[in-house]
Structure 1
Amino acid sequence: MSNLKLLAQSLGLSITTVSRALDGYSDVAPATRERVQAAAQAMNYRPNPAARSLRRRKAEAVAVTLPTEPGRFGPPIFLNMLAACGQRLAEEGLDLMLLPIAGRAGEMDTYRRLLDGRRADAVIVVRTRLEDERVAFLTERGIPFVTHGRTARSEEHAFIDGDGEAGFREAARQLAATGHRRIAHIAAPQDLTFAHLRRRGWLAALEDLGASEPLEYTAQPTEAGGYEAAQWLLQQSDPPTALLCATDSMAIGALSALKERGLAAGRDIAVIGHDNLPSAAFTDPPLSSMEIAAPDVGRQLADMLIARLGGRDARELQTILPVRQVPRSTHGPAD
């Protein structure tokens, strides 16, 4: 075992954080830098000059895995966010490495290859799950990481997230205020944290309104999933007057199902999504949506990871951002 690794283990820090502290990087918290230097002196640690020179020239890598479908690279909501994140990381000499993952089966193998092969020094986790094996693995390995989204144990790690629960509760209340009483939910799989929280907000609004038995359908968070869900919901004996969709992609699929049945979104049935994708403004009719009310989520995520690399406590890096409604033409009142 290398002396650097022993030093890192004795401090309970990652090797990356210790090496950056010893190399004088400005992103390392002063208290952490002092603690590392004191421990190094106590251990009589002397860095290898050649290795240190190589480390200073090496661009460190931050990895993020993105769920993909055949012929598509990642959910659209993440691409602009990660572009801004990558720009901010580059300012600190860090490279953002995007890795497409076709399914959960091989995802943990990818994580092990990345870290065992020292191909990544830090990780950004997106589309979190309530019980997320990636978060548990990174925590056990002591790898600096942040998540876009929460988990069942969010108090233990750094994260940034939107308040989807409050957003969906507010959207359902707005629909009810315009006369809707049969507000159905097109849900994403409930192991995904965002899907769980958005459904919880919808259910809370129904409870507030004293609504009858909830009407919902769970599908994959894609256009095809939204189309499938809307087809099923519209076939019910008492179909909904409004569809509250877990994502814009699902809502776009639902619009297609409505059109096939000769129904006009916003006139015959209201449809609302989440994410405010650029394409949402150009659907026919333009899709009502909601989004995190912050223009710089990608940079905030990068700043959070830089702070973690600098030794900042994860419990000090936890942000829930408000969600704002983006009403467009599909936000219509009940007949």
Structure 2
Amino acid sequence: MSLKAIAAALGLSVTTVSRALNGFDDVAEATRKRIEAEADRRGYRPNAAARRLKTGRANAVGLVFPVSNASLNDSFYSEMLLTLDQCLARHEIDLLLLPDKNPDQQRNLLRMLRSGALDALIVTHTTPHDPRLLRLQQKGFRFLTLGRSRLPQPYAWFDYDNHAGTLLAAQHALQQGYQNLAYLGGNELSTYILDRRQGFMDALMARPLSQHMAALPPTRRSGYQQTRAWLAQGSIPDAIITDSSPLGEGAAIALQQAGRLSGAQAIALYVYDGLPHDSIIDEPVNAILQSSQQRIGERVAEMVLQLLDNQPPEQLQTLWQPMLRLTSDAQ
């Protein structure tokens, strides 16, 4: 199906039809909608290569994912990525996953940026002083981060208030009268890991209570082994807060095996993001929850589109607050 057929059907010039379908802003909105409706009715799709030549865009966004730090098998993260991909696809924009695991990969990424193959980047697992983001700012390349960093210039970011989440959990534990709190966290240097740990520490700052802290690989095995080690000690925690679902499920399995997940001798367990969707544990735990991953994917996609439309980065900064779901709410 050609542009000429659409133009003839609407009584418009081929140039007007082409510019409307390729995203130029010099076509009246009412006319654009007529053209898009006729194109949809006829099943027309613009030629991607031709559109790139006309608009100067690659119609592709890269998502930098450090495979050594997190797994694409994470069901929460996968749901967000699926929604993000679907939202961008509705605007004829491809989402490309780019592994980031060593300096060579960063050099490869810079070569890709210079080639014009990407219109923008989404950078995950940011660190407090992230050299990747500083390099992108210096190059003047458009990017949005999932997480925050300290940079000399404003930039676009989406984040949760990770500090507030563990603070909520620890404060609730203290209100319940627990005196021996444990924190089971990841050993990465990502900002969100550090913020979650700091939230726990700030809650206990004014309370000289017994506490245990562990920084481990964010896996179910690590959570299981560390919780078993705590249970074998003389000073057993009466509440455990974990900063991720895998660590939380490992802790839950250890507590269940010891008969301490529920009942009179239960140790309160607070899990950031809750247990995985496919968890083998069917008993409820206290959960630090963020918005649904579908809503997060939709919001990130919206911000990416605004970034591509040259909205100033200081206007593209979103911080969402967590909530605490208690086992009493789930029963």
* Match in the other structure for 1:264: 260
The answer (yes or no) to whether the contact 2:146–2:159 under 8 Å persists in 1 is yes
* Match in the other structure for 1:325: 324
* Alpha-carbon spacing, 1:65–1:74, altered in 2? closer, same or farther (3 Å): farther
* Match in the other structure for 2:183: 185
* Alpha-carbon spacing, 1:226–1:156, altered in 2? closer, same or farther (3 Å): farther
Q: Which has the higher contact order (CA 8 A, sep 6+)?
A: 1
The answer (yes or no) to whether the contact 1:226–1:250 under 8 Å persists in 2 is yes
* Match in the other structure for 2:249: 252
SS in 2 for 1:54: helix
* Alpha-carbon spacing, 1:319–1:57, altered in 2? closer, same or farther (3 Å): closer
Decide which of 223, 229, 237 is 1:226's aligned counterpart. 223
What whole-Å deviation, never above 9, does each CA across 1:138-171 have from its counterpart, x for those lacking one? 2122221111111234972111111121121111
Distance 1:179 1:256 in 2: 24
Distance 2:85 2:234 in 1: 49
How far 1:279 moved relative to its partner? 1.7
Decide which of 290, 293, 300 is 1:292's aligned counterpart. 290
Distance 1:255 1:154 in 2: 42
What whole-Å deviation, never above 9, does each CA across 1:233-274 have from its counterpart, x for those lacking one? 3344312111100111110111233344x2321442111111
Identity %: 27
The answer (yes or no) to whether the contact 2:184–2:215 under 8 Å persists in 1 is yes
SS in 1 for 2:272: coil
How far 1:211 moved relative to its partner? 3.1
How far 1:278 moved relative to its partner? 4.8
How far 1:67 moved relative to its partner? 3.3
Q: Aligned partner of 2:145: which letter?
A: T
Distance 1:256 1:160 in 2: 33
* Match in the other structure for 1:306: 305
How far 1:276 moved relative to its partner? 3.5
Q: TM-score, normalised by structure 1?
A: 0.74
Q: What value does the CA root-mean-square deviation take over the aligned residues? A: 3.2
The answer (yes or no) to whether the contact 1:144–1:305 under 8 Å persists in 2 is no
Structure of higher CA gyration radius? 2
Distance 1:154 1:219 in 2: 32
* Alpha-carbon spacing, 1:225–1:330, altered in 2? closer, same or farther (3 Å): farther
* Match in the other structure for 1:4: none
* Match in the other structure for 2:209: 212
* Match in the other structure for 1:242: 239
Distance 1:69 1:316 in 2: 32
* Match in the other structure for 2:166: 168
Distance 1:168 1:280 in 2: 23
SS in 2 for 1:221: coil
- Structure 2 residues without counterparts, runs of 5 or longer: 1-18, 26-48
* Alpha-carbon spacing, 1:322–1:312, altered in 2? closer, same or farther (3 Å): same
Q: Point out the more displaced range, 185-194 or 233-242.
A: 233-242
* Alpha-carbon spacing, 1:131–1:54, altered in 2? closer, same or farther (3 Å): same
Q: TM-score, normalised by structure 2?
A: 0.75
- Structure 1 residues without counterparts, runs of 5 or longer: 1-19, 27-49
The answer to whether 1:115 aligns with 2:113 is: yes
Distance 2:119 2:56 in 1: 15
Q: Aligned partner of 1:265: which letter?
A: L
* Match in the other structure for 1:7: none
* Match in the other structure for 1:143: 141
The answer (yes or no) to whether the contact 1:114–1:120 under 8 Å persists in 2 is yes
What whole-Å deviation, never above 9, does each CA across 1:47-66 have from its counterpart, x for those lacking one? xxx97763459761111132
Distance 2:128 2:155 in 1: 13
The answer (yes or no) to whether the contact 1:218–1:229 under 8 Å persists in 2 is no
The answer (yes or no) to whether the contact 1:271–1:330 under 8 Å persists in 2 is no
Q: Aligned partner of 2:254: which letter?
A: A
Distance 2:120 2:305 in 1: 9
Q: Aligned partner of 1:142: which letter?
A: G
The answer (yes or no) to whether the contact 1:248–1:289 under 8 Å persists in 2 is no
* Match in the other structure for 2:39: none
The answer (yes or no) to whether the contact 2:179–2:210 under 8 Å persists in 1 is no
